[in-house]
Amino acid sequence: MTKQKQQKPGTATPAMPGFFRYFAAIFYDLLLLIAIFFLATAILLPFNAGEAIKSPLVFPLYLYSIGFLFYGWFWTHGGQTLGLQAWKLRLVSNSSASISWQQAFIRYLSASLLLGFGFLWRIWQKDRKTLQDLSSQSYIIRTDTNADD
């Protein structure tokens, strides 16, 4: 049995997730997002007589917006997507509060423009923050501080 330091309530530093846990939550969310994209595409089919949208910009922007609404809603309303909930993680602002829609937009934009490579930035950072964490002034914490990664 190991001895743990006693800390005053509210002074504990939030535990940061390990690489595997963070990646697994992202993977879970991507699976769900793919299903949402299928549904969003199916919703458009009756309006196009079952044909693909011809414009090279409209459909990708539509799906991009759907993705933002998915992540933005969960991030601003409790800080947990389904993947984050499953892996006992939460997104918080640097002040430990819920993030704003502006922060959610910056986070989504920076993560998507970097094609996920911002996630790898955490490997070289002592505080384990990704580029999207730094750009949106938010970060992912573990909600179960007793479990090992």
* Residues 88-103: tens digit of each pLDDT: 999 999 988 899 999 9
Q: The whole model's pTM is what?
A: 0.81
Amino acid at 36: I
Could you tell me if residue 82 is inside a domain? yes
Q: Choose among 56, 143, 57, 138: nearest CA to 105.
A: 138
Could you tell me if residue 99 is inside a domain? yes
Could you tell me if residue 10 is inside a domain? no
* Residues 118-130: tens digit of each pLDDT: 777 777 777 788 8
Residue 56 class from Cβ within 10 Å (0-12 exposed, 13-18 middle, 19+ buried)?
exposed
- Cα 125 to Cα 112: distance, rounded to the nearest angstrom: 20
Could you tell me if residue 136 is inside a domain? yes
Could you tell me if residue 2 is inside a domain? no
Could you tell me if residue 115 is inside a domain? yes
Could you tell me if residue 6 is inside a domain? no
Domain count, the chain: 1
Residues near 64 by beta carbon (within 8 Å), at least 6 away in sequence: 112
Instruction: Give the range of the structural domain holding residue 107, as residue numbers without chain letter.
Output: 19-142
